[in-house]
Chains A and B, each alone.
Chain A
Amino acid sequence: LAKTTQPISMDSYEGQEVNITCSHNNIATNDYITWYQQFPSQGPRFIIQGYKTKVTNEVASLFIPADRKSSTLSLPRVSLSDTAVYYCLVGRDTGRRALTFGSGTRLQVQP
């Protein structure tokens, strides 16, 4: 299975920009990169998905360098409600590779 590596935890303050990087050295040519957010006692929620360069939506931006061996989720001006666990997934279609959630990054936003 394609392995992803993320920091275990990160701390930030309200109003700051947070960047969470995920390493995926074994990414395949057709793989997409997908990020999910999970709040305590809830199921994960899709944030963003991309293949290369930059993708932006109303919640976050996803930066993917040319070699695609890593990706960075950027959360602009975080608030307390962004405190959650963030997961990076790599794969295509719904094969098991694309559905493997790693340990995630626990983001704690302080006032």
Chain B
Amino acid sequence: QVQLQESGPGLVKPSQTLSLTCTVSGGSINSGDFYWSWIRQPPGKGLEWIGYIFHSGSTYYNPSLKSRITISLDTSKNQFSLNLTSVTAADTALYYCARSGYSLAYWFDPWGQGTRVTVSS
């Protein structure tokens, strides 16, 4: 069964770039028509979908973050990554990666355990 695991620095300084990686195990990131997403949860708040990358490499980013986001794929490592530029305290959150299916099966399953990122000097 497919499992996802996030990794990355827990602390990022304001104005810098937040970089996270999601490692996929139990299946190839390149097989099947899956969408690979990033989702975040700021402290005390709800879930916010950040964006996805399709196995072909095409992407869609949430317009609320679009100007600062890049999601990329590394099929050789079975990973996908998130870069978020010019971070502020508002980007402090628990970041999750998750998989969605195809043909309108766009619910998220499975999810990673999440990685906490704090933006602070």
A and B: interacting chains: no
Q: Which B residues have a C-beta under 8 Å from some C-beta of A?
A: none
A interface list, Cβ under 8 A from B? none
